[in-house]
Amino acid sequence: MASTSSLYEVLGIPVNASGHEIKVAYRKLARTWHPDVVSVNQKDMSANEFMKIHAAYSTLSDPDKRANYDKDLHRHRQRPFRFSSLNSATMAAASGYGYSVLNSGIRAKGCRYCKLISVGEQVCVNTMAAKYEIEKFNGSNFSLWKLKIRAILRKDNCLAAIEDRPTGITDDRWKEMDDNAIANLHLAMADTVLSSVAEKKTAKEIWDTLTGLYEAKSLHNKIFLKRRLYTLRMSESTSVTDHINN
């Protein structure tokens, strides 16, 4: 993606673009850069680009966030500075609830309006005190990861996307929620787990697949351990030490 200095340039639209133009630009870029549609050797790069696109859309599609962003963008563009490219970690913060990929997992910035203005210049207003982290799910402790990722989806107003579609919601709104949920789920999974759901097209399909693969496994393990405990017997000819060791 070309060097950019604003969220509008990320989507390739003018600053006076309509809501419809923003949505069309986002969907076009998402179809190009989504990790599900690129070759294996491009997945890392496409994930970074998709984060930028998603962050830009999340801010510009929200009238209140966009109005605040436009004010700060106009004010800061009156100052002289050098333009350069935006990295994905900085761009991810632009949505107000964006994520930056860290070695330890995914961290929410905790900013309601964390807006990118120019190279390395970021203004955060209405900063929330709450910060949270979530380790990328690698196949272990699914119940704990599920609890955390549901909280993230709820905070991102897309929790409904992992369930049956509610009545009364428009196609555009449902598509937006589903895209947001898919992005959050993909970014919160380790590569080994992500590969098992890479072909799934909706957030609910991803969620149901993960639940089938890992929740059932966890339940099976619990049942197996309980059965071993309930059937545990020490024979009279065995010492306590040998019984414990075996």
Q: Domain-by-domain residue ranges, the chain?
A: 1-134, 137-246
* Distance from C-alpha of 36 to C-alpha of 38, rounded to nearest angstrom: 6
Could you give the CA distance from residue 174 to residue 180 in angstroms, rounded to a whole number? 10
Residue closest to 146 by CA, chosen among 216, 43, 240: 216
Q: What is the DSSP letter of 231?
A: T
Q: What is the pLDDT of residue 195?
A: 86
Whether the CB-CB separation of 19 and 64 falls below 8 Å is answered with: no
Task: Output 24-32 pairs: Cβ under 8 A, ≥24 positions apart.
Answer: 26/53, 26/56, 26/57, 26/61, 29/53, 30/54, 30/179
pLDDT (0 to 100) of residue 86: 45
pLDDT score of 98 more than 50: no
User: How high does pLDDT run on average in the chain?
Assistant: 72
Backbone dihedral region for residue 38 (phi beyond 0: left; psi -120 to 50: alpha; all else: beta): beta
Output the six-digit token pair for 49: 């680009």
Does the domain at 1-134 match CATH 3.40.50.720? Answer given as no
Check if the beta carbon of residue 111 is closer than 8 Å to that of residue 77.
no
The reported pLDDT for the residue numbered 110 is: 39
Structure confidence at residue 232 (pLDDT): 67
pLDDT on residue 245:
55
- What is the C-alpha separation between 101 and 30, in angstroms, rounded? 19
Using a 10 angstrom Cβ sphere, with 0-12 exposed, 13-18 middle and 19 or more buried, the burial of residue 94 is buried
pLDDT value at 162 more than 70:
yes
pTM over 0.85: no
In degrees and rounded to multiples of 5, residue 203 shows phi and psi of -65, -35
CA 109 to chain centre: 12
Q: Is the pLDDT of residue 51 over 50?
A: yes
| CA–CA gap between residue 25 and residue 36 (Å, rounded) | 19
